[in-house]
Amino acid sequence: MNKAADNIRCLALSMVEKAKSGHPGGALGGADFINVLFSEYLRFDPDCPGRWARDRFFLDPGHMSPMLYAQLALTGRFSLEELEAFRQWGSATPGHPERDVERGIENTSGPLGQGHTLAVGAAIAAKFLGHRFGSEVMPQQIYAFISDGGIQEEISQGAGRIAGHLGLDNLTMFYDANDVQLSTMVDEVDTEDVARKYEAWGWKVLTIKGNDVAEIRKALDEALATKGCPTLIIGKTCMAYKALDAEGRDIVDRIPTHGQPLSKAGVSIEKTLGAMGFDAANPFVIAPEVEALYRQRDEELRQLWKQYDATFSQWQKANAEDAALMKDWFDGKLPVIDWAAIEQKSGQATRSASATVLKELAARVPNMIVSSADLSNSDKTDGFLKGTEAMSRNNYGGRFLQAGVAELTMAALCVGMMLHGGVIAACGTFFVFSDYQKPVIRLAALMQVPVKFVWTHDAFRVGEDGPTHEPVEQEAQIRLMEKLHNHSGQRSMLVLRPADVHETTVAWQMAMENDQTPTGLILSRQNIDDLPNEGLTPYARAVRMMCGGYIVSDDEGAEMALVATGSEVATLEAAAAILRAEGRKLRVVSIPSEGLFMDQPESYRREVLPEGMPRFGLTAGLPINLEGLVGANGVIHGLESFGYSAPYKVLDEKLGFTPEAVAEKIRTLLQRR
């Protein structure tokens, strides 16, 4: 066992040396725990890594990737040549791990704190699925590895609180407590009692020597035997464990060994590797006895999965419908939903229209879990809650997670649920508080996790609450994610701001059918008039938004195209009615998703927004929201300051967003032509 951990140390430090870049010190200290976990405890299938019932390991400190890659090389998931290409262009071993289940990487990690919060989300999903199908077929345990930085990141409070509150006894987290950070010692920035903090949250806490194999085994055994709460194992480890200088003296627990090749921190690579039985001239090797250890573990795992398959087969015969349902859930297959049959009340706020859809989804999608940050009765996710129950430690079958005031944590939990698989997760809050969620949104987009974000109170029309709660710049920020592409070449996120209740139905349809990227729904607080249907049914009219944008109303020989998203489309339609009564000919266009619209064939885009037709844009956010659609020769009326506290109709008047004020702006432009 010690030789295998030393092999991980040898490979990890050698990767950093060859790349001349990376973080070797922590990898050397954490090698003992990860080796014990993978060689004796973690249940994974060496021949089928994506097993639904596998245990899952979430790494929080992504900078410790050399440790993970080295460990996965021992399990056969990475070649030694791939380790040698660490941090290079096109390499399978980037500087921070990127999600690849086939290679044993459950999550992309790097932003500290998110990795272990994703693990809490995965544990929630596992509890939900175990409750639904039974622990004999859903026995998976969730393991997380966290460092000092992850403990300090604010998200850890939400993750720790919620995991303890829910009693997630399928979650075990190892805290690599080496007391050394990138630029300081831990005691220079943090003197809290971590153990007591987690105990206060309801965790079982075990403190061990983190480089002692016997103590690691004992702690893992105790964690797996613990019922009713998650377990934190605080492993007191040494930064750069077993590193030696040229005289053979220990060089441990020093800041310089954290974030650079050890040879630059006074470490003798020859002495260090030699003391562990490896050759510095040929370090990219797996020792024969280590190879034998892990091939023996492969055979043990194959027998374990053979037993599981027998158990699953018996269960499947007795529960054929549940077995088929489980497959559908893990395959991401949606049940049939008659979207056109969803009845919406005219003239409602789009958040209320969302509640109507969520009520239907609660009835039709039994593996959907929705969460809200103490706003369910305001962001209207309670439309879903009314069709289910809140999840609790006494009811893991509840499909509504009351996250408390924790937007960042909630978002990561939902992403973690979907990383686990078998569930569809959505979370709601006010749009202005999407600012708290941006780090998770970005990571979800990078990992291509199709979580659903529900953002309400979308503009200054929040009203009396004032500028702290009135989003202005948020739409511009989030739509940047539509412009950013993921590594599959797709737009990294689908962002939809529906213009009325019927567009909201279709927006939810698009969100549920989008299984490739995250989706953001931006919804109004205030009521909005329905758009004209032009001889179509409301659904048939609204479904045209699946092209990203469409013509709402049009006059033959239109003099100008009026462009908007969300509630401003109805304002434009009302302004157009005033001007049409004066004999003006206009076209009104709704563009709920600029990214999706720009992906349409040029012929369609020119059909909706012809070249040469003057354009006027209206947005309750920054004018930049519409610049790509209106163009340099068009005019945009938007908001270029923070909002104000007043009833929203007063704000409409003061800020120039009434139909009459907008009509006057358009009239002036037309008169100049």
Residue type, 266: G
DSSP letter string over 434-472? HHHHHHHHHHHHHHT---EEEEES-SGGGGGG-TTT--S
120 and 157 Cβ atoms separated by less than 8 Å = no
Cα separations in angstroms, 638 against 172, 183, 559, 619: 50, 44, 22, 5
Which strands, in side-by-side order, build the sheet including 424-430? 400-402, 368-372, 424-430, 452-456, 519-522, 494-496
Considering 407, 470, 573, 594, which one is annotated as catalytic?
407
72 and 78 Cβ atoms separated by less than 8 Å = yes
Residue type, 211: N
The answer to whether residue 464 is catalytic is: no
Cα–Cα distance for residue pair 16/22, rounded to 1 Å: 5
Tokens of 419: 């990383």
CA dihedral 318→324→326→331, nearest 10 degrees, is: 160
Helices 288-318 and 2-19, packing angle to 10 deg: 100
SS3 per residue for 601-668: CHHHHHHHCCCCCCEEEECCCCHHHHHHHHCCCCEEECCCCCCCCCCHHHHHHHCCCCHHHHHHHHHH
Between strands 586-590 and 550-554, the pairing is: antiparallel
159 and 117 Cβ atoms separated by less than 8 Å = yes
Residue type, 448: Q
Cα–Cα distance for residue pair 297/460, rounded to 1 Å: 60
371 and 427 Cβ atoms separated by less than 8 Å = yes
Tokens of 425: 């997760």
Residues noted as catalytic:
407
